[in-house]
Amino acid sequence: MIPFLHVWGLAIPTFGLMVALAMIAAFYVLRADLARRGMASTESGIGEYFITIPCLAGIIGARLYHALQSPAELIANPWGELFSRYGFAWFGGLIGGFAAYVGVARWKKIPLLAALDAGSPAAALGYGIGRIGCLLSGDGDYGVPTSLPWGMSFPDGLVPTTDRVHPTPIYEFLAACIIAWILWRLGTRQIRFSREGGETQSAGIGIVFAAYLVLTGAERFLVEFIRINPRVILGMSNAQAASLLSMLAGAMLWWWIHKRERDTKSV
């Protein structure tokens, strides 16, 4: 693996490089989604706000959550744990990024569920690209040993292993791309039905975000079965517990949207 690229005497972390590429890709997808929904033109600059602020908040949240998962190490070396270049927790990034995204939506006076629908395909794609950074750096996000022909070893990774293991970042990248495509297509149907004035459940505002919560939660829950994360809650990892909450929240939101539409039709 390649934890660092050495360019002109500088050591550039490949994880950070892929996070930057993920932000760029997510920006273009989000800007296109905002534009096709008529929420903001590509020249408005709103897409930049929706990407930059939540991404920075997500990075901070991911770092803090990771540090808080090991309180003994945090107390022993608070500076090193808080400002290390390694170790980011997905759920912490979700919390930080989501809170900042909500804040930007309120600031720009954009309906929250509509903004969340527009951001869901971008979030899914950005997450997948970011996982390639985990693969390149070999930061320990790989899976358990496997005899499958595509198993990989990470002898030069930040968390090295000479065993052939499941390359779970690749699995997550592929799953994230599929999820992003599904969400984009769902958004296309949502927009079409809305413009045609049709009454259909899949046209409800918030449906795309609900699907995002369910699909990404399911993806992360399943991949955790073959990852090396410790089991801490009822035989599950922290990420699996968070994924269950994500799926539950998405299912509840989906139910609430459909109930609201049924109630509206019956009036």
pLDDT, tens digit (0-9, with 9 covering 90-100), for 94-121:
788 889 999 999 999 999 999 999 999 9
Confidence band (pLDDT; 50, 70, 90) for 93? confident
Structure tokens at 109: 């006076």
Tokens of 3: 């934890």
Answer whether 132's CB lies under 8 Å from 172's CB.
no
pLDDT tens digit string along 2-14? 888 888 878 888 8
Among residues 145, 129, 157, 152, the alpha carbon closest in space to that of 228 is found at 145
| Angstrom distance (rounded) from CA 172 to CA 135 | 10
**pLDDT tops 80 at residue 173:** yes
- Name the nearest CA neighbour of 99 among 65, 68, 55, 64: 55
What is the widest separation between alpha-carbon atoms in the chain? Answer: 69
Residue 237 pLDDT grade (very low, low, confident, very high; cuts 50, 70, 90): confident
Confidence of residue 204 (pLDDT cuts 50, 70, 90): confident
Query: Who contacts 44 (Cβ-Cβ below 8 Å, separation ≥6)?
Result: none
DSSP category for residue 157: S
3-state secondary structure of 83: coil
> What pLDDT shows up at residue 82?
64
Given a cut of 90, is residue 62 above it in pLDDT? no
**How is residue 11 written in tokens?**
């050591």
Distance CA 151, CA 168 (A): 10
Q: Are 18 and 130 in contact (CB under 8 A)?
A: yes
- Angle between the N-to-C axes of helices 112-137 and 168-196, in degrees from 0 to 180, rounded to the nearest 10: 160
77 Cβ contact list (under 8 Å, min separation 6): none
* Domain ranges, ordered by start, for the chain: 4-266
Lowest-confidence region among 5-14, 180-189, 197-206, 248-257: 197-206
State yes or no: pLDDT of 138 exceeds 70: yes
Query: With the C-alpha atoms ordered 178, 179, 184, 188, is the resulting torsion angle positive or negative?
Result: positive
